[in-house]
Structures are given as structure tokens and as C-alpha cells.
Amino acid sequence: MRGSIKLFKAFGIAVRIHFSFLLLPLLFGYFYGLKGVVLVFFVFCCVTLHELCHSLQAKRFGVRVDQIILLPIGGIASMGSIPEKPSQEFKISIAGPLFNIVFAIILFFPFYFILGPENLFNPDIETWPQTFAYAFWINPILAIFNLLPAFPMDGGRILRSFLASKMEYVKATRIAVGFGHTFAILFGFLGIFSTPPNLILIVIAFFIYMAATQEGMQVDIRSTLKKFYVKDVLPEQFLHVSPGSLLSEVLAISLHSHQEDFPVVEQGKLVGLLTRSNIMYAIHQFGMQKQVKDIMTRDFPKLHVDDPLTKAHKMMEEWRIKAIPVVYKDQIVGVVSLEDISRVYLLMSGKR
């Protein structure tokens, strides 16, 4: 995500923090001093571990997890497609809240005896004991909030996994998305009509509504694409470039064709992929005389002409790319793009 910096890497997953997150320690530090900064740091640790538990469980089921991004409203794990098998989605979704609950149980008795019940059950940021008590209650609050059946939060995914074991996956998703929209409207209403208006609650409501809508659309797209294969959408003609080609040459080709992503071929062998984002970034950073081999993507997936179109869509989600080279008998035969897939969905959804 733009505007984020990498903090560290754990279990092959990059943990990044968005610049907007830095507003929290500044605000809490301004109003509450060092106690406020310590509290934000503790929340940061809990949210990171919460997302790591989701991510590690997802990786067990073969889901690609590239990074975790920390935002002021929480953390987001950048995962590929969540498995449609209900039991797997349940285990991935419950992992985060379960960590918060177990962590709270582990901390309860030490905090009870060290802080005393008068501080533990009266959290605040006035004194250090009350600040630590406040930090303790962060985990139960995170668990309860995330377990609300508001898709795409953990509770919404758990709800879908339960429904999907009883009915079709698409129908289960629509019900879970409906719950998400309902909670989003409720949060938005409470945020707007609070005195004063609660901006954070309004932002959370907007995020839940948009994320739920997007998830519903993604599942609907996959359902539509199940009837098609890569060869059904593969353009009959395609262009490729060589590693030694200059960006100026590639740009000239782009301007005279509809193709925006190019396989890089050397002596008949596919050696790289030059995407639209590669081209735009390199032109702005290095100018027109940069060679393709210096900016092409070397680590990328491949598709076979007989692969289902759902596989292409899933791979684009997991790799976060918009085009994938297609091979047949070890020879490059074209490139399928997100635009090709979207065109099929738009045509077929219009026929419903």
C-alpha cells in the first residue's frame, strides 16, 4: 500500500505501518503524555499479533499472504482468496479473536494481583496502574468487536463459514454481506448522531460497507467465471518484447495496440513479464532509455490455456497483478488480463 513503511518481517510476512497510523501516538501523546504513547504501542502489538494469527493459519491452507498493514482503524492482512471450504475459513477467521481471548486470560491473574481489582476494573489513562488496566481490556474488546457478525470482520466470515456448510457458498456470502451492510449503517447512524459526532465510528462504518460490498462482488464474479476457461477469453493475437528493448520502443508498441502488459521473450523462452505499472513507474523514475530487463517482473505465475478462468482470477488476487502469461506445450501463446475477465463477467451478468 502506498504511504506505508516496512517495520519488520515475520514468518515471511512483511509488517508495514501506514503513515496515518502515526497520528495515534502523536494525538495520545499530546493529550495523555507518555502513558498515551505506551497504550498505543500495546494496541499496535495486539493488532499485529491478531493479524499474524490469521495469516499463519491462512498460510497453512496454501493462501498467499504478502503483508500486514497497520492503519488507525486496525490491521489488514493482504491475503489471496480465502478458501471456500467452510472449515478452513472458520479456522482462519477464528484465529485472531482466539489469540486476543487467550492472551487476556493469560494476563488476567497477574494483572489482578499486581494492579489490584480497584485499578483493573476501573481502566483509565490518569495513572499508570489504570493505564495498564486499559491496555489489558484492549484484547477482550478487540475479540468482541471482531466477532460481531458484520462481514468482512472475523465474525462475518465465521457466519459465512457456518451458513456455507448448510447452503450454497454464494447465498451464504450474500447473507453475510447483508449483515455487514446492516451493521455499517448502524455504526454510521451512531457515529453521525453522537454528541459530538464520532468520526472514527463513521470511518469504520464506511470501511465495513465498502469491504462487504467488494467481497460480495468478488464471490459473484467467481461464481460467474466457473463456466469459462482461459482459452475462451485469450486474445487471438498478442505482442511480446525482448529483454534488450528500450522503454521508448515498448511505449510506441503500447500506443499502437490495445495490449498493456507484455511477456518478455528471449530465444523463444519466457523470461519475464512487463506490466503496465512497471512501464509507468520506470518512465517516471528512469526515463525512456531504460531496458526492459532492468524493470521486468521475474517472479510471476503462468496459466495454461485449459485452466479454468476462476484459477486466473484467483491467481491475480493472490499475486496482486492484472495480467498473467498463458502457455501451451511450454510455448507462450498470449496474455490474459483482468480486463478480459471483467468483460466476461459484465457480459454474463447482463444476461441474468
Q: Are residues 327 and 250 in the same domain?
A: yes
Q: Are residues 93 and 124 in the same domain?
A: yes
- Tell which of 112, 128, 147 closes a domain: 147
Q: What is the pLDDT of residue 289?
A: 85
Give me the number of domains the chain comprises.
3
Q: What is the pLDDT of residue 156?
A: 92
Rounded-to-integer distance, Cα 81 and Cα 221, Å: 13
Which of 107, 131, 147 represents a domain boundary (last residue)? 147
> Which of 167, 192, 225 corresponds to the end of one domain?
225
What CATH number does residue 288 fall under? Answer: 3.10.580.10
Q: Which residues have C-beta within 8 Å of that of residue 67, sequence separation ≥ 6?
A: 13, 14, 15, 16, 77, 78
Return the amino acid letter for 251.
Answer: L
pLDDT for res 350: 58
pLDDT of residue 185: 94
All residue ranges of the chain with pLDDT < 50 are none
| Residue pointed to by grid coordinates 517495520 | 7
Residue type (1 letter), 108 = F
What CA–CA distance (Å, rounded) separates 229 from 340?
A: 12
325 in the same domain as 240: yes
Mark whether 125 and 201 lie in a shared domain.
no
Question: 311 and 295 in one domain?
Answer: yes
**For every residue of 120-172, which 3-state class applies, written as one string?**
HCCCCCCCHHHHHHHHHHHHHHHHHHHCCCCCCCHHHHHHHHHHHCCCCHHHH
Q: Are residues 120 and 2 in the same domain?
A: yes
Domain range for 119: 1-147
* 267 and 214 part of one domain: no
Clarify whether residues 108 and 125 are in a common domain: yes
User: Whole-angstrom Cα distance, residue 332 to residue 343?
Assistant: 23
Does 126 lie in the same domain as 171? no
Same domain assignment for residues 79 and 44: yes
Residues 235 and 220 in one domain: no
What sign results for the dihedral spanned by CA atoms 16, 211, 204, 128? negative
Q: Are residues 247 and 336 in the same domain?
A: yes
The H or E element containing residue 336 is strand 331-337
